[in-house]
């Protein structure tokens, strides 16, 4: 057996235990590890919920400028993901392959996030656009610097088919909790009626300072909590890396059919998430005319959804299998996402301002976000199962690269989702500095009428991809046995 393959299978040998059979993680360990993903949740939810609104309705940039810039930044960031993934996979240090990146990202991440929400006063629109674009690129890059290595740890921390899903659920729980918690804090303390609402520019700088601080703290806790497990993680083999070798290995890893099918489903999900996130605040403020106090209840509903997701996702995948459970979740997501808007378009709901509308929005938030969390957990777990499938075929551990490919597709397509959201807003006449109450009924109807069929098509694409995915529990167990046999033969 080649030296590189043996190294990949055997780990660093410091304790006689490899990542094929690491000691089980306790619930406190899983939760503290998962806490780091709150940084990604805060970043994603803040950008999807407030950035388009802030830079178009408050700062004064055209919505199409902001939407286009966000889409471009995602594409640029997506190019960097495989680079970080391969560097992390092959990085050698006394702290392993992943932890140096996690530690190094914490403070810069918090600082850059604050800068994003504090644009200079008195600049021209082109200059402000350039500032926003540069800040978003920097924030997304430093997020990648942490998130790719941290996510790659999942496949190493536990090889168990179902335990892995639970660990991923912990990460996504904190992704949701971090994002929704910050939105709740924003509406209750920074964008409340007493503070002037979402149209006061100075409120965003204060919000960015708190969010950036919490991001840095969450990252440090996650890195420190998993530091003791470094001896049981895979170590990169000592070898000479060349651009040609890296490109060849990239091609070999990406040739995995299961990887592309799972990522295809994730791709459609990211488009939907990006579009829904970009439109959510507009629907809530303009379409449903919710007040800041009413809006503050939606993040709490989202936290309830996160609790449902962290328990419901692993349970459903254990009961029905990952693929079958995810298909059912996407079908339910279609219904939950379009039901209220469709009923309003048909004139079957009470007028805005009635308690029923608030209750419907809370129920929709719980259903949509719980289903989104559970389906994302299932798909991510399916992608992580590709780590062993890829190792069987290539002889290398490539978790960082696998995660980065998933991130590339999610980021670039989420950018497309945000861009589609900006097109819908422009078609409805909500592109720039429009206040609630100044929008015609026809414009709101147009926004809803475009949204409904678009969501059906996008989630339908995810279902189509999953129907032909074949890497199930039986195949995963066979891959683990093959890797154990290789490890024994290498001794």
Quote the pLDDT of residue 195.
66
Is residue 463 helix, strand or coil? Answer: helix
Quote the pLDDT of residue 158.
84
What single-letter DSSP state applies at residue 21?
A: S
State in words which class domain 35-233+257-485 has: mainly alpha
Q: Residue 62: which pLDDT band, with cuts at 50, 70 and 90? A: confident
Q: Are 50 and 204 in contact (CB under 8 A)?
A: yes
Q: Residue 489: which pLDDT band, with cuts at 50, 70 and 90? A: confident
Q: Is the confidence at residue 8, as pLDDT, over 90?
A: no
Q: Is the confidence at residue 461, as pLDDT, over 50?
A: yes
With tokens 């059906």, the residue in question is 456
Q: Are 109 and 39 in contact (CB under 8 A)?
A: yes
With tokens 């439109």, the residue in question is 279
Candidates 229, 244, 233, 341; CA nearest to 283 is 341
Is residue 405 helix, strand or coil? Answer: helix
Q: Residue 20: which pLDDT band, with cuts at 50, 70 and 90? A: low
Q: Residue 214: which pLDDT band, with cuts at 50, 70 and 90? A: very high
**Structure confidence by residue, pLDDT tens digits, 24-39:** 888 899 999 999 999 9
Instruction: For helices 297-320 and 322-345, give the axis angle rounded to 10 degrees.
Output: 140
**Structure confidence by residue, pLDDT tens digits, 278-321:** 788 889 888 998 988 888 888 889 889 888 988 898 999 999 99
Question: Which alpha helices (H) appear in 186-242, and where do they start and end?
Answer: 201-225
Task: Pick the more confident residue, 198 or 144.
Answer: 144
Domain positions in the chain: 35-233+257-485
Mean pLDDT (the chain) is 86
Q: Residue 215: which pLDDT band, with cuts at 50, 70 and 90? A: very high
Query: Could you count the other beta carbons within 10 Å of the beta carbon of residue 2?
Result: 10
Quote the pLDDT of residue 432.
62
Calculate mean pLDDT across residues 404-423.
76
**Structure confidence by residue, pLDDT tens digits, 336-345:** 999 999 999 9
**Structure confidence by residue, pLDDT tens digits, 319-376:** 999 999 999 999 999 999 999 999 999 999 999 989 999 999 999 999 998 999 899 8
Exposed/middle/buried for residue 407 (C-beta within 10 Å: 0-12, 13-18, 19+): buried
Quote the pLDDT of residue 267.
86
Candidates 102, 94, 95; CA nearest to 145 is 102
Candidates 5, 130, 148; CA nearest to 85 is 148
Calculate mean pLDDT across residues 158-176.
87
Give the Cα separation of 244 and 82 in Å (integer). Answer: 15
Candidates 378, 382, 414, 377; CA nearest to 268 is 414
**Both tokens of residue 139?**
């924030």
Q: Is the confidence at residue 21, as pLDDT, over 80?
A: no
Q: Is the confidence at residue 83, as pLDDT, over 70?
A: yes
With tokens 């950036």, the residue in question is 212
What single-letter DSSP state applies at residue 399?
A: H
């Amino acid at each position: 057996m080649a030296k590189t393959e043996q190294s990949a299978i055997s780990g660093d040998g410091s304790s006689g235990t490899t990542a094929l059979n690491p000691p089980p993680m306790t619930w406190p360990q899983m939760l503290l590890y998962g806490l780091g993903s709150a940084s990604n949740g805060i970043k994603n939810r803040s950008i999807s919920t407030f950035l388009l609104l802030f830079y178009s309705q408050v700062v004064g940039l055209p919505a199409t400028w902001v939407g286009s810039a966000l889409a471009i930044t995602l594409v640029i960031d997506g190019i960097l993901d495989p680079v970080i993934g391969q560097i992390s996979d092959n990085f050698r240090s006394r702290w392993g392959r992943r932890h140096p990146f996690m530690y190094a990202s914490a403070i810069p991440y918090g600082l850059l996030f604050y800068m994003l929400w504090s644009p200079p006063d008195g600049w021209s629109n082109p200059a402000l656009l350039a500032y926003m674009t540069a800040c978003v690129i920097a924030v997304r890059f430093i997020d990648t610097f942490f998130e790719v290595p941290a996510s790659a740890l999942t496949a190493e921390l536990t090889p168990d088919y179902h335990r892995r899903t639970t660990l991923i659920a912990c990460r996504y729980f904190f992704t949701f909790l971090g994002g929704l918690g910050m939105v709740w804090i924003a509406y209750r303390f920074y964008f409340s009626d007493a503070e002037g609402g979402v149209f006061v520019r100075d409120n965003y700088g204060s919000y960015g300072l708190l969010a950036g601080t919490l991001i840095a703290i969450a990252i440090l806790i996650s890195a420190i909590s998993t530091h003791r497990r470094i001896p049981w993680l895979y170590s990169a083999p000592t070898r000479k890396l060349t651009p040609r070798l890296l490109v060849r290995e990239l091609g070999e890893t990406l040739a995995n059919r299961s990887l592309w099918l799972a990522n295809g489903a994730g791709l459609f999900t990211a488009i939907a998430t990006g579009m829904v996130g970009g439109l959510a605040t507009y629907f809530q403020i303009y379409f449903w005319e919710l007040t800041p106090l009413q809006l503050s209840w939606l993040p709490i509903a989202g936290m309830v959804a996160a609790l449902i997701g962290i328990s419901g996702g692993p349970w459903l995948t254990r009961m029905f299998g990952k693929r079958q459970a995810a298909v059912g979740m996407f079908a339910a997501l279609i219904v939950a996402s379009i039901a209220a808007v469709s009923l309003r378009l048909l004139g079957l709901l009470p007028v805005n301002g009635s308690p029923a509308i608030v209750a419907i929005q809370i129920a929709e938030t719980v259903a949509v976000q719980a289903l989104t969390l559970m389906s994302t957990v299932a798909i991510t777990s399916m992608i992580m199962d590709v780590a062993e499938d890829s190792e069987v075929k290539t002889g290398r551990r490539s978790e960082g690269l696998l995660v980065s490919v998933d991130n590339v597709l999610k980021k670039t397509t989420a950018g497309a989702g945000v861009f589609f959201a900006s097109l819908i807003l422009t078609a409805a006449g909500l592109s720039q500095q429009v206040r609630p109450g100044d929008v015609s009924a026809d414009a709101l109807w147009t926004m809803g009428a475009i949204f409904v069929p678009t969501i059906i098509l996008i989630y339908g694409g995810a279902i189509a991809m999953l129907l032909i995915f074949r890497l199930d529990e039986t195949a995963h167990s066979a891959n683990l046995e093959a890797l154990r046999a290789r490890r024994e033969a290498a001794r």
